[in-house]
Structure 1
Amino acid sequence: MFEKTYRDRLDADLARWEADGVIAPAAAAAIRHALPPLPAGINIAVVVGIVGGLLIAAAFLAFVAAHWTEIARLLRFAILIAGMVVTSALGAWFAARGREVLADLCASIGAIIFGAGIALVGQMYHLGDDFAGGMLLWSIGALAAALLTGSRGALAVGLAAAGIWTCMRIIDAPDILHLPYLAVWLLAAGLAFAWNSRVAAHLVALAVLPWWIATSLRFDFDGPQPSFVLANSAALLFGAGLAIAAAPSPRALQLGSVLSIYGAFSLAAAAVLEVTTVDDIIRFRTGAGSAQPLWAILCGAAGVVLALVSAALTKRKGEILAACAIGLVLLAAPLWPVATAGEPWLAYAALLCAMLCLVVSGVLDDVRPRIVAGWLGIAGVIAGITWAVKGSLLARSAFLAAAGIVAVAFATALNRALPRSAR
Structure 2
Amino acid sequence: MFDKTYRQRLEADLARWEADGVVAPAAAAAIRNALPPRTAGINIAVVVGIVGGLLIAAAFLAFVAAHWTEIARLARFAILLAGMVIAGGLGAWFAARQRTILADLCASIGAIIFGAGIALVGQMYHLGDDFAGGMLLWSVGAFAAALLTGSRGALAVGLVAASIWTCMRITDASDVLHLPYVLVWLIAAALAFAWNSRVAAHLVALALLPWWIATSLRFEFEGTQPSFVLASGAALLFGAGLAIAAAPSPRALRLGSVLSIHGAFSLAIAAFLEVTTVDDLVRFREGSLAGQPLWAIVCGNAGVILALASAAITRRAGELLAAAAIALVLLAAPVWPASMAGESWLAYAALLAAMLCLVVSGMLDDVRPRIVAGWLGMAGVIAGITWAVKGSLLRRSAFLAVAGVAAVAFATALNRMLPRAGR
Equivalent residue runs for 1:160-199 within 5 Å: 160-199=160-199
The reply to whether residue 82 of structure 1 matches residue 79 of structure 2 is: no
Written as runs of structure 1 = structure 2, the 5 A alignment for 1:113-132 is 113-132=113-132
- 2:166 and 2:270 map into 1 onto residues whose CA distance is 22
The answer on whether the counterparts of 1:198 and 1:255 sit within 8 Å (CA) in structure 2 is: yes
Structure 1 residue 220 displacement after superposition: 3.0
**CA-to-partner distance for each residue in 1:243-302, whole Å, 9 max, x for gaps?**
000000000000000000000000000000000001110000101234411110010000
Q: 2:38 — aligned with what?
A: 38
With 341-350 and 238-247 compared, the bigger mean Cα shift is at 341-350
- Deviation string, structure 1 residues 197-229 (Cα, Å, up to 9, x no partner): 000000000000000000000133734010011
Looking at structure 2, the residues matched to 110 and 325 of structure 1 have their Cα atoms a distance apart, in angstroms, of 44
Aligned residue in 1 for 2:286: 286
Count residues in correspondence.
423
Equivalent residue letter for 1:162: A
CA distance in 1, matches of 2:409, 2:305: 30
Tell me the SS of whatever aligns to 2:270.
helix
Q: Distance in 1 between matches of 2:241 and 2:44?
A: 36
Name the amino acid aligned to 1:110: G
TM-score, normalised by the number of residues in structure 2: 0.98
For residue 361 of structure 2, what is the aligned residue in structure 1? 361
Q: Is the Cα–Cα contact under 8 Å of residues 288 and 339 in structure 2 kept in the other structure? A: no
Once the two structures are superposed, the pairs formed by residues 92-241 of structure 1 within 5 Å of their partners are 92-220=92-220, 222-241=222-241
Higher mean alpha-carbon deviation, 83-92 vs 63-72, is at: 63-72
Structure 2 unaligned spans of 5+: none
Distance in 2 of aligned mates of 1:276 and 1:221? 20
Which residues of 2 match residues 361-400 of structure 1 at below 5 A? 361-400=361-400
Q: Secondary structure at the match of 1:391?
A: coil
389-398 vs 364-373, which moves further: 389-398
Change (3 A) 1:103 1:120: same
Is this contact kept in 1: 2:355–2:377, CA < 8 A?
A: yes
> Which residue in the other structure is 1:7 paired with?
7
What letter corresponds to residue 209 of structure 1 in structure 2? L
Contact residue 160 and residue 207 of structure 1 kept, 8 A: yes
Does the CA contact (< 8 Å) of 2:156 and 2:203 recur in 1?
yes
Any runs of at least 4 consecutive aligned residues in structure 1 with deviations exceeding 6 A, and if so which? none
- Higher mean C-alpha displacement, 235-244 vs 45-54: 45-54
Name the SS of the counterpart of 1:69 in structure 2. Answer: coil
| Structure 2 residue aligned with 1:308 | 308
Q: Secondary structure at the match of 1:416?
A: helix
How many Å apart are 1:325 and its aligned residue? 0.3
**Change in 2 beyond 3 A, CA 1:306/1:108:** same
| Sequence identity (%) | 84
Letter in 2 for 1:236: L
User: Which residue of structure 2 lines up, in the alignment, with residue 420 of structure 1?
Assistant: 420
Alignment correspondent of 2:346: 346
* Letter of the 2:201 counterpart: A
- Whether the aligned pair in 1 keeps the contact of 2:288 and 2:337 (CA below 8 Å) is no
Partner of 2:320: 320
Would you say the 8 A contact 1:170–1:177 is kept in 2? yes
Quote how far apart the aligned CAs of 1:341 are.
3.9
Aligned residues of 2:175 and 2:221 also touching (Cα < 8 A)? no
Question: What is the rounded CA distance, in whole Å, between the counterparts of 1:338 and 1:198 in structure 2?
Answer: 40
Partner amino acid, structure 2, of 1:201:
A
Deviation of 1:338 after TM superposition, in Å, equals: 10
Q: 1:337 & 1:119 partners in 2: Cα distance?
A: 45
Segment of structure 1 superposing worse, 10-19 or 202-211: 10-19
Instruction: Describe the shift of the 1:323–1:339 C-alpha distance in structure 2 as closer, same or farther (beyond 3 A).
Output: farther
Partner SS, residue 331 of structure 2: helix
CA contact (8 A) 2:286 2:339 kept: no
Structure 2 letter corresponding to 1:174:
S
SS of equivalent to 2:91: helix
Q: Deviation digits for residues 102-129 of structure 1, max 9, x if unmatched? A: 1000000000000011101110111111
Residue aligned with 1:70, SS: coil
1:36-92 CA-partner distances (Å, limit 9, x unpaired): 111111222222222222223333333223222211222111111100000001101
Q: Which range moves more in the overlay, 15-24 or 191-200?
A: 15-24
1-structure distance, mates of 2:368, 2:135: 37
TM-score normalised by length of structure 1: 0.98
Instruction: Give the alignment of 1:5-84 within 5 angstroms.
Output: 5-84=5-84
Equivalent position amino acid for 1:107 in 2? A
Moved more, 375-384 or 337-346: 337-346
- Kindly provide the CA deviation profile for residues 181-206 of structure 1, in whole angstroms up to 9, marking residues without a partner as x: 00000000000000000000000000
Whether contact under 8 Å (1:221, 1:284) holds in the other structure is no
Runs of 5+ consecutive residues of structure 1 not aligned to the other structure: none
User: Aligned equivalents of 1:211 and 1:62: distance in 2?
Assistant: 32
Letter of the aligned partner of 1:2 in structure 2?
A: F
What is the deviation of 1:362? 0.4
Q: Contact 1:356 / 1:374 at 8 angstroms: preserved in 2?
A: yes
**Aligned-pair distance for 1:142?**
0.3
Q: Is the 8 A contact 1:325 1:355 kept in 2?
A: yes
Distance 1:34 1:50, change over 3 A: same
Q: Are the aligned partners of 2:234 and 2:266 in contact in 1 as well (CA < 8 Å)?
A: yes
Mapped partners of 2:339, 2:371: distance in 1: 30
Matched, 1:253 2:253: yes
